[in-house]
Amino acid sequence: MDEFSLVQFVYLLKGLGWTLVLSALSFVLGSVAGFGVMLARVSRLAVVRAAAVLFIQTIQGIPLLVLLFVVYFGVGIFGIDVPPLLAAGVALMVYVSAFLGEIWRGSVEAIEKTQWEASECLGFSRWQSLILVVIPQAVRLSLPATVGFLVQVIKSTSLASVVGFVELTRAGQIINNSLFQPFLVFALVGGFYFLLCYPLSRWSRAMEKKLNVGRR
């Protein structure tokens, strides 16, 4: 049985790096897609709103683990070889878009209707009112929840190990399989996740207090 050494620690750091890459990739792409979902949710067209609701409820009703399997193995049925990073990134992007779309929709709808009416009185179109007046105010409301959800995304990347992507959790599993020191290895893995997530959680709470979210 080998002892834990600098080599294993560096390997964990590489896994941590890939966790950051996957988190950033899925969150950025998911934010872009989530913005589209939010626009669909506040659309005046009932068909568009219904489609967005169906998408959100479907994704939120499916475990992320199952979604990862569907993307990774489902595409393989058609003879397409999907790299683990791409499969994990797509699955997490879809997952993030559904939740962020709903978070941002709630923030947009929380803005008082008088803001829309005032914009219309100034001759703004609905799109101009949304982009120039409503969304800047909605961002203030949505920031704490958005950062809080980012914490969940970082922790959810651990599920990417099931499709063979070597992020932090998978790196810990590989090291433990050779060292048989689960307490030490996974204590370090948990510590790395804590170092990533705790500052973001504190930042989310600080913004909530600073922006007086939920107060009038």
Q: Once rounded to an integer, what is the mean pLDDT over residues 130-141?
A: 87
In a domain? residue 13: yes
In a domain? residue 216: no
Strand, helix or coil for residue 70? helix
Strand, helix or coil for residue 120? helix
pTM score > 0.85 for this model? yes
In a domain? residue 142: yes
In the predicted structure, residue 62 carries a pLDDT above the cut 90: yes
Q: Once rounded to an integer, what is the mean pLDDT over residues 96-115?
A: 92
Alpha helices in the chain (DSSP H): 6-41, 46-60, 64-69, 75-76, 84-110, 113-121, 126-128, 135-156, 168-179, 182-210
Calpha distance 106→83 (Å, rounded)? 35
Using 50, 70 and 90 to split pLDDT, how confident is the model at 53? very high
In a domain? residue 1: no
Q: pLDDT value at position 175? A: 92
Number of domains within the chain: 1
In a domain? residue 77: yes
What does the pLDDT look like over 18-37, one tens digit per residue? 999 999 999 999 999 999 99
Can you give the CATH number for the domain in which 100 is found? 1.10.3720.10
Q: Once rounded to an integer, what is the mean pLDDT over residues 174-191?
A: 91
In a domain? residue 78: yes
In a domain? residue 139: yes
Q: pLDDT value at position 212? A: 62
* Choice among 108-112, 117-121, 163-167, 168-172 with the minimum mean pLDDT: 117-121
Burial class (CB in 10 A: 0-12, 13-18, 19+), 169: buried
Q: What is the mean pLDDT of the chain?
A: 89
Residue 177, domain extent: 6-210
Q: CA 207 → CA 49, 52, 144, 148, 213, distances in Å?
A: 30, 29, 6, 11, 8
Q: pLDDT value at position 207? A: 82
In a domain? residue 215: no
